[in-house]
Amino acid sequence: MSKCGQCIIKSFNAFHTLTIDELDTISDHKTSLTIKKGENLMTEGHAINGLYCIKQGKCKLTKLNTNGKEQIIKFVKGGDILGHRSILSEEPVGLTVTALEEMKVCFIPKGDIMQTINQNTAFSLQLMKNISNQLNHANDSISQMAQKPVKDRLAETLLKLEEIFGLDKDGNIDIILTREEIANTIGTATESAIRLLSNFKKEKIISLQGKHIKLLDRSTLRNISEGY
């Protein structure tokens, strides 16, 4: 199995603060796994005893509502860490993580993480920063969801998706989502999402080819997302 010390991914997250020794220990204890498209890496309400470092692949973080609807809270890609919130707060996982394409991840047992937190302040601080940033973004989302109409939220989401996933070779947003998933991100009915996407297309703000979405007029999208 490959060594954490050599893994480029660590440079994107809190693991870059670890010493060579700490990385070695984690290397010895980690397990690498492959998650196929559609499979869950973790499930809301279940306990986990470690965290996941995503080497490759994209996933969605969702929450099941009391009415049975799925709400997509966040999209995550390679370089990110998942599960630290749960092991830090000592609570079950709050979100279901589902692979949107094949993923390569490393599982690192809770014991090693807690030991590292105890002996490496820089690592702790990085984790805190990470969660703090997430909290900040979450608060933004609350405000958006509560106060912006669906159209504005769709514009916002399209911009954010491009920011997270970048572009494929044809200039489309480099993520394949169903219309239902888009609807579940902005919190609306699938039909409403479809209609608004069609409108954006008609107004030449975006182009649609099947599930491929290309942003054509970002400044208009930005205006819409801010209510103009």
- Upper half-sphere CA count for residue 169 (Cβ side, 13 Å): 0
Minimum distance of a second copy from residue 164's CB (angstroms)? 16
Beta-strand runs (E) in the chain? 31-35, 40-42, 50-56, 59-64, 70-76, 81-82, 96-99, 103-109, 206-209, 212-215
Q: Give the Cα separation of 77 and 198 in Å (integer).
A: 28
- Comparing CB distances to a second copy, the nearer of 3 and 137 is 137
Binding to DNA, residues 149-168 (CB under 7 A): 149-151
For 55-69, b/e burial (b = at least 16 CB within 10 A) is bebbbbbbeeeeeee
Site string for a second copy, 187-216 (x = CB under 8 A): x-----------------------------
Nearest to 213 by CA among 187, 189, 188, 181: 181
Tokens 């807690």 sit on residue: 114
Minimum distance of DNA from residue 178's CB (angstroms)? 4
Is 38 within 8 Å of 99 (Cβ atoms)? yes
Q: Is 211 in the site for DNA (CB under 7 A)?
A: yes
125 binds, among a second copy, DNA, none (CB under 5 to 8 A by kind): a second copy
Site string for a second copy, 78-117 (x = CB under 8 A): -------xx-xxxx--xx---------------------x
5 binds, among a second copy, DNA, none (CB under 5 to 8 A by kind): none
- Comparing CB distances to a second copy, the nearer of 155 and 173 is 155
Which of residues 120, 141, 190, 220 is near DNA by CB under 7 A? Answer: 190
- Enter the tokens of residue 77: 């890609």
Q: Is 180 in the site for DNA (CB under 7 A)?
A: yes
